[in-house]
Amino acid sequence: MKKWFMFPTIVLLIFSIAYPTYAISNRAIHWGFTKGKNEQQADAGKEYDELLKKHHAFYKGNPHDKILYLTFDNGYENGYTEDILNVLKKEKVPATFFVTGHYLKSQPNLVKRMVKDGHIIGNHSWSHPDMTAISDDKIREELRKVQEETARITTQKEMHYLRPPRGILSERTMEIANQEGYTHVLWSLAFLDWRINQQKGWKYSYDNIMAQVHPGAVILLHTVSKDNAEALEKSIEDLKKRGYRFESLDYYMMKEKVKNPLLGS
């Protein structure tokens, strides 16, 4: 009888030790930072910087290199992605498009063109959930389905970059992503551009980009925005005049692996 009563006590003790660790590792982080200005880098703070470094994630590049990394989030189509692709092709600018399952299923031809034009397809999850609110297995499924569908409809067979839906992440979700071969890519330049009923004209997008830009910026834009589509060409042209150049996320990772050969091994 004594052994019987000891069992739940032991279980309770183990749970009380393990639960705080789990709770901390799954504490939801809503990505945010102090915006860049006067070409000084955006700053997410020491805590976030250390967390991202621990999991080989990033939101900005070298502060001394006038390099920009252009990324787009594609949850659904609003008629502007083709215009954006045309500008990128004209200006010879590489980009990464983070897509959802809905986008893959509804816009396969645009996704095919992204890859054909030399852009990278990134993982934005299949159904755009809060990753911190779902199980480990469900996270893996969300990532797997996007990778498999992208491989089915395009020539891109591998996927390495993840942008967490809604910008919500935790140590647990980052650990799982790492195990699945993903690097979290956050951002250091963004603004309220995704509300399609609150577009303010091309200059709103242009002014936000030019005001926040800084060396190493990872730029987040949404392709549903009419403002972004109309501002993109002038933004790129004027950023080039300021001495910036655009590179792909693969270029960023190549530079990081030169500094740290064990990265990704």
**CB-side neighbour CA atoms (13 Å) of 165:** 19
Active site residue 227: no
As a whole number of angstroms, the distance between CA 160 and CA 150 comes to 12
Name the phi and psi angles at 194, rounded to 5: -95, -5
Contact (Cβ atoms closer than 8 angstroms) between residue 10 and residue 4? no
Confidence check: pLDDT of 264 > 80: no
- Give residue-wise pLDDT tens across range 158-213: 999 999 999 999 999 999 999 999 999 999 999 999 999 999 999 999 999 999 99
- Whole-structure pTM value: 0.89
In this structure, the number of other CB atoms found within 10 A of the CB of residue 76 comes to 13
Residue keyed to tokens 């089915």: 152
Question: Quick one: which of 244, 182, 255 has its CA closest to 219?
Answer: 244
Active site residue 30: no
Query: Which of the following is catalytic: 119, 128, 222, 227?
Result: 222
- Give residue-wise pLDDT tens across range 3-45: 443 444 443 344 344 444 455 578 999 999 999 999 999 999 9
- Give residue-wise pLDDT tens across range 101-130: 999 999 999 999 999 999 999 999 999 999
As a whole number of angstroms, the distance between CA 147 and CA 144 comes to 5
Q: Which domains does the chain have, with CATH numbers?
A: 53-259 (3.20.20.370)
Query: Which of the following is catalytic: 73, 119, 128, 214?
Result: 73
